[in-house]
């Protein structure tokens, strides 16, 4: 047979013998159970802040329900009460004008809070205080009751420990699943930028940060190249590193890479560097500046693990982009190759047709290139090619696309440019290229100027397909060459001089 | 339908809501409403997580918020555009100071609807003050006069253990921005400049104005961080005055024949300014019951229900006609017409809630320092200087 104490303990244990999602849910069961067992009028639960000697009210239970409440009570100036409670784990009081009992509850839980500049210990002791009140009938607490209340307090401690461990495990599991999902999404994104946007949005959603930013840096970590961010409304913003305030940029880089600042508690910001071996990729910042919510330790370590995967993925993606870039460019002239040009040209013709825009094409042929190669050697031939392509690259607008089309042939695509405007560009190129002279040490002191012949065609006047425009520009070039080289011509200006024979034969 | 609210009437909150819901249920038998009560702190944190609820978290349909959170919730995208949900919805009858807090800043789209409000005033025990002054209302017009009364009361009641001239009305028993702001405003300063592009928190007038309020505690005129209800209450005779909302004073009316008088807050500068705080309701964009939610909001803000609920929890209805009816119903409430007309509200900006959180933290630090005897005006200045920097940073991020 159970005695009364064992029976009450059993009943209480049964009440709490279930899985609770969190401390709040557990207390919502435990406090009413205590109230009923001891005929209490009110039960309060406080967090105990040792360093401030402060009781912080969290929950109140009266009649049929429990409610979150907030109140801070300093007991710094009440040494007798404080000593009794800390020494015995229980303190009786009549300060309120009716019997009340304070009961200390201690339990261990995973350390959740991230603190700046501290070595983190995984488990920490947490202390709470229950205040039991009987204000209606003023019935005092007997010694037997206090004994029993202490035993129930231990039961609550035990349950708080289990609940908080389970909660931390579930949280960790959720976070791992979320990060795994994000990594999969990232891996399947074709473009680096799209993948990064998805990642940032995902991290913000799962971890519920106010803002998340990704700073991409150069490999030395001395310059920020770009910043991608997601703000509180979920909007993605992208900024060029050049637009950043230089002082702030340097401070950020110093904080993250040199001084390894990882957490600013005042602002609730964490910084996580992205590195692959010694190479710096960039860094991530997560902040709750607006909400002032603290950032949890578990979130921090999960994000750190995730960041190393992310750094590797970004580095790989960058390498892939670099390889693609290399395969699209001619090594000697640094101009895009024919394949790349053809793709861009087809896209631009489509756009010009759709939006009714003009487009011009210039084919450039270096005059007497075979003679230069034969007479001064291939090295000088290469030098000439480089010098001319340098002029081409530096004379064009951002939207213009040049390419090395063949041995001594170059091509220029000029979007939103009509034939007359293209002639102006060709004229400028003619002048600039003519100013180049071969190195005199290779020509025996002779001053040899370079020159090019240029054929121009433009959409829609001279043709409306890639093939026609290429053919017409080539025919205009043929006419220029026939007329002594070193000049340029627009197809429709010289159309009557073009012999009607197939291109292949002309060449 | 789930409704998240704050403990409007303290420990009585759930009972009051039960009464309100019974009325709603009578008119809308098919709509079930579940009330969840959260403290302002918890609700503040949840405003940043409701957008992405986890599997375990419930999705609220209607949420009660302080008026100045509206801009933030619109920015976050968690508040439903009520004007779109019901194009006929109007704020024409709402009290003027409350209207602009319902819109998305810069537009006339309503995102939250005003329900009730409260305003701060000075309440005093007539029997206590009679012992130290013949003209309490006149003496209490200025802060200096108020401090003189505090001093005189402290001397008069020096033999009453645990007596303080002023009862602390803060729910947490700490220093509160709600009570500090009127001092600041009355001194002619504010949280932000008139064009809201810079902060005045780091300025000398702001620091001095805030110090006036903190000095109530440092001079021993007001208790802090003590057991509420055990020390320094007007009811127990251990306090004589209280700066509080109308709600805060309700406990003392008609008890033990105690006569509590109400006057506007003492002015530090040229005129008295009170703190007017409104409570609004908004619908969560993730709500699956938006029509029912709108019905609930319209029910709560209907003039008869507004008046009834406002009387129940001792506050004021947010609409003009019910407000007028309420203040005309009792002579002691007539004064509130004057107090409301000179009251100020916090601006409806994305960062206002954050600024209040930061300043609350500053006051909590001051309170702890006061208890441990380490508080100095210099320590307050230091805190306010870094707060000003933080507010400037917030302005640059969110309001720039």
With CA atoms as reference, report the closest residue to A77 among B162, B78, B281, B209.
Answer: B162
Percent of chain A at pLDDT above 70? Answer: 95
pLDDT at A2: 55
Q: Does the pLDDT value for residue B151 go beyond 70?
A: yes
Q: How far apart are CA A432 and CA B153, in angstroms?
A: 94
* A134 contact partners, CB below 8 Å, separation of at least 6: A39, A40, A41, A98, A99, A100, A140, A141
pLDDT winner (highest mean) among A45-54, A162-171, A375-384, B290-299: B290-299
Peptide bond before residue A460 is cis, with ω within 30 degrees of 0: yes
Provide mean pLDDT across the span A352-357. Answer: 86
pLDDT band at residue A118 under the 50/70/90 scheme = low
Provide mean pLDDT across the span B34-45. Answer: 90
Q: Is A91 helix (H, G, I), strand (E, B) or coil?
A: strand
A378-387 burial: b if 16+ Cβ within 10 Å, else e = eebbebbbeb
Helix B204-218, helix B352-372: angle, nearest 10 = 40
| Chain A contact set for B372 (CB, 8 A) | 76
| Chain A contact set for B69 (CB, 8 A) | none
Provide mean pLDDT across the span A485-501. Answer: 88
pLDDT at A177: 82
Q: How far apart are CA B240 and CA B232, in angstroms?
A: 9
Domains in chain B and their CATH numbers? Answer: 2-117+276-344 (3.40.190.10), 119-274+351-399 (3.40.190.10)
Q: Does the pLDDT value for residue A192 go beyond 60?
A: yes
* B379 contact partners, CB below 8 Å, separation of at least 6: B366, B369
Q: What is the pLDDT of residues A87-117, one digit of tens each?
A: 889 998 887 778 999 999 999 988 766 666 5
With CA atoms as reference, report the closest residue to A429 among A405, A399, A455.
Answer: A455
Q: How far apart are CA A255 and CA B174, in angstroms?
A: 36
Q: Does the pLDDT value for residue A334 go beyond 90?
A: no
| Chain A contact set for B371 (CB, 8 A) | 74, 76-77
Distance in Å, alpha carbon of B55 to nearest chain A alpha carbon: 10
Q: What is the pLDDT of residues A13-39, one digit of tens each?
A: 888 888 888 898 899 999 999 998 899
Q: Does the pLDDT value for residue A504 go beyond 70?
A: no
pLDDT at A190: 60
Q: Which residue has the higher pLDDT, A266 or A313?
A: A313
Cβ distance of A292 and B41 shorter than 8 Å: no
Q: What is the pLDDT of residues A66-93, one digit of tens each?
A: 888 777 788 877 778 878 888 889 998 8
Q: What is the 3-state secondary structure (H, E, C) of A346-367?
A: HHHHHHHHHHCCCEEEEEEEEC
Provide mean pLDDT across the span A158-165. Answer: 92
pLDDT band at residue B229 under the 50/70/90 scheme = very low
| Chain B contact set for A68 (CB, 8 A) | 7, 37-39, 42
Whether A380 and chain B come into contact, CB under 8 Å, resolves to no
* Pair type for strands A54-62 and A65-74: antiparallel
| Chain A contact set for B350 (CB, 8 A) | 290
Q: Does the pLDDT value for residue A492 go beyond 90?
A: yes
Assign residue A101 a region: left if phi > 0, alpha if psi is -120 to 50, beta otherwise?
A: beta
pLDDT at B226: 67
- How many cross-chain Cβ pairs, A to B, lie less than 8 Å apart? 96
pLDDT band at residue B270 under the 50/70/90 scheme = confident
Q: Which residue has the higher pLDDT, B290 or A219?
A: B290
**A297 touches A113 (CB < 8 A):** yes
| Chain B contact set for A67 (CB, 8 A) | 7, 11, 13-14, 37
Domains in chain A and their CATH numbers? Answer: 4-170 (3.30.450.40), 189-325 (3.30.450.40), 338-506 (3.30.70.270)
With CA atoms as reference, report the closest residue to B140 among B275, B261, B276.
Answer: B261
Q: What is the pLDDT of residues A201-215, one digit of tens each?
A: 888 888 899 999 999
pLDDT winner (highest mean) among A150-154, A293-297, B168-172: A150-154
pLDDT at B28: 96
* Pair type for strands B274-283 and B343-344: parallel
Cβ distance of B42 and A68 shorter than 8 Å: yes
pLDDT at A114: 67
pLDDT band at residue B252 under the 50/70/90 scheme = low
Q: How far apart are CA A201 and CA A182, in angstroms?
A: 10
pLDDT at A117: 59
- The mean predicted confidence, pLDDT, of chain B is 91
Distance in Å, alpha carbon of B42 to nearest chain A alpha carbon: 8
Displacement of CA A492 from its chain's centroid (Å): 52
DSSP lists the bridge partners of residue B120 as: B245
* A366 contact partners, CB below 8 Å, separation of at least 6: A372, A384, A385, A388, A408, A409, A450, A451, A452
Query: Residue A456: CA atoms inside 13 Å, Cβ hemisphere, count?
Result: 25
**B232 touches B163 (CB < 8 A):** yes
pLDDT at A506: 44
Whether A71 and chain B come into contact, CB under 8 Å, resolves to yes
Distance in Å, alpha carbon of A220 to nearest chain B alpha carbon: 28
pLDDT at A500: 67
Provide mean pLDDT across the span B71-77. Answer: 96
Phi and psi torsions of A106, nearest 5°: -120, 140
Cβ distance of A73 and B173 shorter than 8 Å: yes
Which token pair is B70?
A: 């509206």
Provide mean pLDDT across the span A408-425. Answer: 93
Q: How far apart are CA A288 and CA B354, in angstroms?
A: 10
């Amino acid at each position: 047979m159970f005695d009364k104490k064992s029976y009450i303990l059993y009943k209480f244990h049964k009440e709490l013998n279930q899985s609770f999602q969190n401390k709040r849910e557990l207390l919502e069961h435990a406090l009413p159970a205590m109230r009923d067992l001891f005929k209490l009028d009110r039960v309060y639960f406080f967090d105990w802040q040792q360093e401030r000697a402060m009781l912080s009210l969290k929950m109140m239970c009266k009649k049929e329900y429990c409610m979150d409440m907030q109140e801070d009570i300093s007991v710094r100036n009440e040494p007798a009460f404080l000593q009794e409670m800390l020494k015995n784990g229980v303190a009786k009081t009549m300060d309120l004008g009716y019997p009340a009992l304070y009961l200390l509850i201690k339990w261990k839980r995973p350390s959740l809070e991230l603190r700046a500049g501290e070595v983190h210990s995984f488990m920490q002791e947490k202390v709470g205080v229950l205040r039991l009140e009987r204000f209606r009938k003023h019935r005092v607490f007997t010694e037997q009751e206090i004994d029993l209340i202490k035993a129930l307090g231990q039961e609550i401690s035990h349950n708080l420990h289990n609940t908080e461990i389970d909660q931390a495990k579930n949280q960790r599991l959720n976070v791992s699943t979320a990060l795994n999902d994000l990594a999969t999404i990232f891996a399947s994104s074709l473009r680096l930028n799209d993948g990064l946007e998805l990642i940032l949005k995902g991290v913000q959603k799962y971890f519920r940060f106010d803002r998340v930013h990704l700073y991409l840096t150069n490999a030395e970590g001395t310059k920020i190249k770009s910043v991608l961010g997601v703000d509180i409304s979920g909007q993605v913003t992208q900024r060029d590193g050049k637009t950043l305030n230089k002082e702030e940029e340097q401070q950020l880089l110093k904080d993250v890479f040199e001084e390894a600042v990882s957490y600013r508690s005042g602002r609730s910001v964490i910084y996580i560097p992205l590195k692959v071996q010694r190479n710096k990729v960039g860094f991530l910042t997560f902040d709750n500046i607006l909400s002032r919510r603290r950032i949890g330790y578990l979130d921090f370590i999960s994000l750190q693990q995730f960041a190393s995967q992310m750094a590797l993925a970004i580095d790989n993606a960058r390498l892939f982009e670099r390889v693609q870039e290399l395969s699209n460019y001619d090594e000697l002239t640094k101009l895009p190759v024919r394949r790349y040009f053809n793709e861009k040209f087809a896209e631009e013709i489509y756009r010009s047709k759709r939006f009714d825009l003009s487009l011009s094409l210039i084919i450039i042929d270096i005059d007497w290139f075979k003679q230069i190669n034969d007479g001064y050697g291939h090295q000088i031939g290469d030098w000439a090619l480089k010098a001319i392509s340098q002029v081409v690259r530096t004379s064009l607008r951002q939207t213009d696309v040049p390419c090395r089309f063949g041995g001594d042939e170059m091509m220029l695509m000029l979007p939103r440019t009509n034939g007359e405007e293209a002639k102006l560009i060709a004229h400028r190129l003619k002048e600039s290229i003519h100013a180049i002279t071969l190195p005199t040490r290779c020509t025996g002191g002779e001053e040899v100027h370079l020159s090019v012949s240029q054929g121009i065609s433009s959409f829609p006047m001279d043709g409306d397909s890639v093939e026609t425009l290429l053919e017409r520009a080539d025919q205009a070039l043929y006419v220029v060459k026939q007329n002594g080289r070193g000049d340029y011509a627009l197809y429709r200006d010289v159309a009557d001089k073009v012999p009607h024979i197939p291109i292949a034969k002309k060449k | 339908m789930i409704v998240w609210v704050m403990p409007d009437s303290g420990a009585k909150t759930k009972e009051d809501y039960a009464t309100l819901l019974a009325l709603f249920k009578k008119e809308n038998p098919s709509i079930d409403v579940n009330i969840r009560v959260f403290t302002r702190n918890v609700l503040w944190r949840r405003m940043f997580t409701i957008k992405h609820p986890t599997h375990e978290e419930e999705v609220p349909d209607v949420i009660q918020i302080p008026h100045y959170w509206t801009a933030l919730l619109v920015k976050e995208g968690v508040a439903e555009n009520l004007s779109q949900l019901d194009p006929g919805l109007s704020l024409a009858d709402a009290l003027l100071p409350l209207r602009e807090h319902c819109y998305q800043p810069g537009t006339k789209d309503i995102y939250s609807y005003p329900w009730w409000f409260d305003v701060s005033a000075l309440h005093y025990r007539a029997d206590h003050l009679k012992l130290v002054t013949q003209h309490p209302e006149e003496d209490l017009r200025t802060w200096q006069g108020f401090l003189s009364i505090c001093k005189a009361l402290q001397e008069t009641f020096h033999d009453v253990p645990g007596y303080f001239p002023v009862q602390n009305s803060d729910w947490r028993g700490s220093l509160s921005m709600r009570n500090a702001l009127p001092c600041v405003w009355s001194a002619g300063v504010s949280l932000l400049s008139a064009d809201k592009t810079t902060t005045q928190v780091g300025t000398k007038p702001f620091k001095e104005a805030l110090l006036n309020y903190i000095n109530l505690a440092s001079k021993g005129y007001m208790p802090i961080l003590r057991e509420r209800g055990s020390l320094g209450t007007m009811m127990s005779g251990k306090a004589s005055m209280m700066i509080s909302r109308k709600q805060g004073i309700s406990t003392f009316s008609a008890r033990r024949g105690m006569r509590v008088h109400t006057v506007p807050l003492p002015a530090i500068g040229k005129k008295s300014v009170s703190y007017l705080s409104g409570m609004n309701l908004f619908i969560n964009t993730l709500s699956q019951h938006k029509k029912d939610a709108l019905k609930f909001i319209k029910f709560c803000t209907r003039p008869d229900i507004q008046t009834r609920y406002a009387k129940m929890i001792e506050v004021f209805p947010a609409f003009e006609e019910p407000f007028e009816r309420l203040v005309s119903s009792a002579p002691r409430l007539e004064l509130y017409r004057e107090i409301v007309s000179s009251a100020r509200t916090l601006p409806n900006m994305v960062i206002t809630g954050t600024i209040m959180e930061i300043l609350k933290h500053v006051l909590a630090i001051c309170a702890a320092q006061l208890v441990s005897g380490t508080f100095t005006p210099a320590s307050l200045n230091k805190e306010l200087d870094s707060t000003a920097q933080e507010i400037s940073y917030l302005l640059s991020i969110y309001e720039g």
